[in-house]
Amino acid sequence: MLTGTTACGDTTGRTSPGGAPGINNPAASGSARPAVRTRPPGLGLRIWRQVPAATRQLVVVYGDRRDSPDSLVVLYEKRGTAWKATGSWRGHNGRMGWTTDHRMDDERSPVGVFSLTDAGGALEDPGSRLEYWHDDNAFTPTISDDDAHAHDFDYVIAIDYNRLKGAPPYDWNRPEGVEKGGGIWLHLDHGDGTSACVTVPESGMKTLLRTLDPAHRPVMVMGDRERLNS
């Protein structure tokens, strides 16, 4: 686990500075997509109903198995009434797999539907359509001397799980409390599982940053294949 200035997933010892309650899952908005057949493969009605009707871009993370850190990340864009896959990358999720009740430091990624609103990184903005915070220090892992992790946070997209939207990814407010975990990002892959984040290769991160458009209400649908298709 990466700890210190910034982290992938949860950070032991962090305390929440408070902040106004936020809605971090689009399912809570009350604007659910009707149960229609035009949806990407592998997504069952239970999770599909949580995708807001206005959404026209999806990042779907198909976890191989409940307890596996391996996953396939696919970008879908809505064209008319159909969803077209426009990008696909092998990646990783929490090293212990997936959970429907994520807790701090359980090393599992949360299953669910989450909006994508904010991005950033240690490198300059590559052309992100999402609001982008560039900060060398805030996105430098404490174990940056480890070559395997030195570039994890060159580019990141915050997954809106237990965080305040419209804030930098490194903002440590936890509206639902510290024990629910947080700091869960989409970031560069380092070849194995994470604390709770999702990873893709650098080419994938650049594509997602340049493609995801706030006007299209992008969300991430993530979980193991079995639960995504239930």
Q: Is residue 59 part of a domain?
A: yes
Q: Is residue 1 part of a domain?
A: no
The gap from C-alpha 74 to its chain's centroid, in whole angstroms, comes to 12
* pLDDT reported for residue 11: 55
- Interval 139-151 mean pLDDT: 72
What confidence tier does 25 reach under pLDDT thresholds 50, 70, 90?
Answer: very low
Structure tokens at 163: 């965080």
Structure tokens at 69: 């850190």
Structure tokens at 66: 């409940």
Mean pLDDT of the chain: 87
Q: Is residue 85 part of a domain?
A: yes
* pLDDT reported for residue 146: 63
Counting the structural domains of the chain, the total is: 1
Residue 18 CB burial class (10 angstroms; 0-12, 13-18, ≥19):
exposed
Q: Is residue 7 part of a domain?
A: no
pLDDT digits (tens, 9 = 90+) for 57-78: 999 999 999 999 999 999 999 9
Q: For the chain, first and last CA: distance in Å? A: 31
- Going by C-beta distance under 8 Å and a sequence separation of 6 or more, which residues neighbour residue 93? 61, 63, 69, 70, 71, 109, 193, 194, 196, 197, 198, 199, 222
Phi and psi dihedrals of 58, rounded to 5? -125, 135
* pLDDT reported for residue 148: 76
Query: If we measure between CA atoms, which residue out of 227, 218, 9 comes closest to residue 102?
Result: 9
Phi and psi dihedrals of 216, rounded to 5? -100, 5
Q: What percent of the chain has pLDDT over 90?
A: 77
pTM: 0.85
Phi and psi dihedrals of 24, rounded to 5? -110, 0
Q: 122 pLDDT exceeds 80?
A: yes
**Domain with 123 in it:** 38-228
Nearest-angstrom CA–CA distance, 179 and 174? 9
Q: Is residue 129 part of a domain?
A: yes
Nearest-angstrom CA–CA distance, 71 and 92? 5
- Going by C-beta distance under 8 Å and a sequence separation of 6 or more, which residues neighbour residue 1? 7, 8, 9, 10, 12, 105, 107, 195
Tell me which residue has tokens 């899952």: 25
Q: Is residue 22 part of a domain?
A: no
Tell me which residue has tokens 């149960």: 35
Structure tokens at 13: 């010892």
What confidence tier does 142 reach under pLDDT thresholds 50, 70, 90?
Answer: low
Q: Which run of H or of E encompasses 226?
A: helix 225-228
Q: Is residue 213 part of a domain?
A: yes
The residue ranking higher by pLDDT, 146 or 144, is: 146
- Interval 173-194 mean pLDDT: 97
Q: 222 pLDDT exceeds 90?
A: yes
Residue 57 in contact with residue 212, Cβ under 8 Å?
A: yes
* pLDDT reported for residue 150: 87
Q: Is residue 171 part of a domain?
A: yes
Q: 209 pLDDT exceeds 70?
A: yes
* pLDDT reported for residue 9: 74
* pLDDT reported for residue 105: 95
Residue 188 in contact with residue 217, Cβ under 8 Å?
A: no
